[in-house]
Amino acid sequence: MKHLTDIEHLSKEEILEIIDLAKKFKANSAQSEVGGKTVALMFYENSTRTRCSFEIAAKKLGANVINFEAKSSSLSKGESLKDTIENLYYLGVDAVVIRHSLAGIVENTRAQVKYPISFINAGDGSHAHPSQALLDFYTMLEKTGSVEGKKVVIVGDIKHSRVARSNIALLSKFGADIHLCSPEYLAFENTECFKATVHRDLKTAIKDADIVMLLRVQNERLEYEVFPDSFEYKRLYEVDSKLLKEYASPNVILMHPGPANRNIEVSSELLDNKIGRTILEQAQNGVFVRMAILNKLLKEGSEAHYAS
Ligand code: CP
């Protein structure tokens, strides 16, 4: 495993290895094997959780971190991402963590770069967010032990969600009972390539749910002409304590990748009550999962800098 660009490329065994190592990092019972390696964080889209947790994870492993500023880099003079990354490799960078609004750019650039630098996809457009799915899976296992047969309901802007795509890919491998709930204009156009039950009605969707994962409406990717007002969305799709209590399983786990829009997809009171704390635990687990990812990739990845 040299790269993490998509969950689809990982076997169940590789996923479980990452989860196991993350558990050890959380319990303080694993040592970094990648001290002194160098990681460049290349974020072309805004981020709080992913960027900070990759930086904290790299630093906890004793790796060096470069916060690559896209706006002030030579990309603004027309240099391609491929050329930039090849130069970073020759400067001594072992891995690049990339977030970008273009779906597929991480995998496409990886295929063009000639040198053994590791690529990590930190979210590319609506395509994939593999480290998010891994930390979500870690949190689900920590809370429930197994996802096999569990009813996992993903609610919200599924159409534009890289988190939904990566979670579906991962949860399908482990036998979860996947349900998707959204208005038609925020649903996947094609659901034939995976097994999931599609809902429009929120109450039906969350009935007896073991895990409810909420998604933000991604205003930055919306075609405005098809989106009705937020009040209508809130009326039909906002999840609050009363709704969860009435319809979901008594031990339901509430998740959200963040950032959450209070009082749109989730009520403020639910976010601030005990059940909402899992969302912060997801963010915390992200540090340990990203330590495991970086340790695994940097150990198994680039070895020969200054290749001729
Ligand atoms: N979940 C997630 O990707 O959050 P950020 O956009 O803050 O990184």
pLDDT tens track for 59-93: 999 999 999 988 888 888 889 999 999 999 999 99
Task: Note the helical H segments in 28-77.
Answer: 49-60
**Does 275 lie in the same domain as 289?**
no
The rounded distance, in Å, linking the Cα atoms of 281 and 295 is 21
Domain count for the chain: 2
Give 10-residue mean pLDDT values along the chain (308 residues): 94 98 98 98 96 98 94 86 97 97 97 97 97 98 98 96 97 97 90 88 98 90 67 92 97 97 96 97 98 95 51
**Does 229 lie in the same domain as 245?**
yes
**Does 289 lie in the same domain as 267?**
no
DSSP E strand boundaries for the chain: 38-43, 64-68, 95-100, 118-124, 151-155, 177-181, 197-199, 211-214, 253-255
259 lines ligand 1 (CB under 6 A): yes
**Does 69 lie in the same domain as 57?**
yes
**Does 265 lie in the same domain as 143?**
yes
**Does 181 lie in the same domain as 102?**
no
**Does 216 lie in the same domain as 206?**
yes
| 99 CA: nearest ligand 1 atom | 8
53 lines ligand 1 (CB under 6 A): no
Tell me the pLDDT tens digit for each residue of 238-285: 999 999 999 999 999 999 999 999 999 999 999 999 999 999 999 999
Residue 4 forms part of a structural domain:
no
Q: Considering only CA atoms, which of 280, 152, 144 is closest in space to residue 212?
A: 152
Residue 159 forms part of a structural domain:
yes
Which residue's C-alpha comes closest to atom 3 of ligand 1? 50
Residue 3 forms part of a structural domain:
no
Residue 221 forms part of a structural domain:
yes
Q: How close is the Cα of 213 to the center of ligand 1, in Å?
A: 15
**Does 183 lie in the same domain as 275?**
yes
What's 90's domain CATH number?
3.40.50.1370
Residue 57 forms part of a structural domain:
yes
183 lines ligand 1 (CB under 6 A): no
**Does 165 lie in the same domain as 83?**
no
**Does 239 lie in the same domain as 147?**
yes
Which residue's C-alpha comes closest to atom 5 of ligand 1? 47
130 lines ligand 1 (CB under 6 A): no
Which residue's C-alpha comes closest to atom 6 of ligand 1? 47
Q: Tell me the whole-structure pTM to 2 decimals.
A: 0.95
**Does 267 lie in the same domain as 152?**
yes
Domain that holds residue 31: 12-129+284-298
218 lines ligand 1 (CB under 6 A): no
48 lines ligand 1 (CB under 6 A): yes
49 lines ligand 1 (CB under 6 A): yes
**Does 173 lie in the same domain as 69?**
no
